[in-house]
Structure 1
């Protein structure tokens, strides 16, 4: 069984799926995002990702791009590869802060990626705009001590918004979420999900929100629920073992809801 768990931990797969969104601007219909979270110590597979060059509109890196003790050259190579595929937007995870964060940040930014630390930016396409908000993992004060969600200009309050956050537990600290789509990782889907025992998450939150897609109560009117995707991530924490929660990356195609 140990061999099977190690094999599962080093699995290489890209999950392709469409996400239908009520308020997506029509010019963003078909916008494709490569989402990768929780790389940790792994080497991103060039043979799997290189064919996506020019076929994705953005690369979102959802934190834990490295970890303490991982070769810094590995982060350099991983960032160089992702930057060759399209515009890269990244947020910190908890393990990034356990590494040499100044060096990590220099490498991320040096690759040309936009590192979002509680910041908004706009992405334009066909005359329309969407807002991407990157939520920074708490640098100090524990995993619940998040900074307030960065505000948008009054003129953009109704603009379509994506939130990229490492740990979906952030959601439990929010009274409302003025967004249309949340992309997260951190959970590893439980990483080792055993029969009859299930996921060994300590936080009750993760038993409800572990991995996959979710529909959350609307923050922008009763007809527009918030969609959330939690990735199982590509790497592993602590031990290179997985069971019942395979490693994954995602190509997400955004779609307008047909009316």
Structure 2
């Protein structure tokens, strides 16, 4: 009973992780650009009192998919989106559970509340004639083997060095991409394992998730430069199946982008 109580507490946690991420190619005007990043909300209601304090303190809200799920109350989902849009401009991608919900209604709620749903699209943030790019990767609707669409190209020549964030629900996308032309990848889906048992650890079908479960990683860009993209995989805010977590508490993120310090 004690263990079950602790698992429920971790499942319904409201922790916001604040961290700085250094990106070599970040344009100077974007030094300090702040993102509220939340993924895998599922059935949960977002904490209005806590998140409302971030209004005016973050520049954008990024949602990494599984924003709701089948049979979850749409009114609750609409309230969550309205709350986030009131904090800062919102950009979202689909997750697998979003496609199992009433997808057209879900999409209309996002757009109707003023959010931006990215279906393999680029968004340009512009400051002082410099650009920070966001690319939203849509989770495929097809059943069976997951096949992603190619990333939309950026309007840059090869001689330029754009700074790009890639927002994708499932980090397994990385292993299916011949190259990762981005500086930062934000993902979720894994729930950090959700329940990590002693001695057994993370029991995922895909071996990929046993390493890339939650936290910050590096992934080769695969562009011949030997450079790496930074990858943040969130444990997410909600749960899948049972509302229980163990050694993988719920989390949200406030990410502050920083330039590489000059030597």
Does the residue aligned with 1:8 lie in a helix, a strand or coil? helix
Residues 144 and 173, structure 1, Cα contact 8 Å, conserved in 2: no
Q: Are 1:251 and 2:254 an aligned pair?
A: yes
Shift of 1:216: 1.6
Distance 1:81 1:220 in 2: 39
Distance 2:216 2:71 in 1: 32
Residues 67 and 77, structure 2, Cα contact 8 Å, conserved in 1: yes
Distance 2:194 2:208 in 1: 16
Specify the alignment match of 2:75 in structure 1.
73
Specify the alignment match of 1:56 in structure 2.
58
Specify the alignment match of 1:93 in structure 2.
95
Distance 1:115 1:186 in 2: 18
Which one of the candidate residues 183, 187, 190 is aligned to 2:186?
Answer: 183
Distance 1:10 1:209 in 2: 23
Distance 1:132 1:143 in 2: 26
Residues 211 and 229, structure 1, Cα contact 8 Å, conserved in 2: yes
Residues 131 and 161, structure 1, Cα contact 8 Å, conserved in 2: yes
Relative to the length of structure 1, the TM-score reads 0.97
Residues 22 and 224, structure 1, Cα contact 8 Å, conserved in 2: no
Q: How many residues align?
A: 259
CA deviations over 1:188-227 (Å, ceiling 9, x no partner)? 0000011111011110010110000011224456474210
Distance 1:28 1:224 in 2: 21
Specify the alignment match of 1:226 in structure 2.
229
Specify the alignment match of 2:206 in structure 1.
203
Residues 91 and 164, structure 1, Cα contact 8 Å, conserved in 2: yes
Residues 137 and 143, structure 1, Cα contact 8 Å, conserved in 2: no
Q: Are 1:216 and 2:225 an aligned pair?
A: no
Specify the alignment match of 2:170 in structure 1.
167
CA deviations over 1:3-44 (Å, ceiling 9, x no partner)? 111111001110000001111111110000000000000000
Q: In angstroms, what is the RMSD of aligned CA positions?
A: 1.4
Shift of 1:153: 2.2
Relative to the length of structure 2, the TM-score reads 0.95
Specify the alignment match of 1:35 in structure 2.
37
Does the residue aligned with 2:87 lie in a helix, a strand or coil? coil
CA deviations over 1:35-73 (Å, ceiling 9, x no partner)? 000000000001110000000000000000000010000
Shift of 1:126: 2.8
Distance 1:230 1:84 in 2: 25
Distance 2:40 2:76 in 1: 14
Range with bigger deviation, 37-46 or 218-227:
218-227
CA deviations over 1:141-182 (Å, ceiling 9, x no partner)? 336211111122243863111100000001111111111000
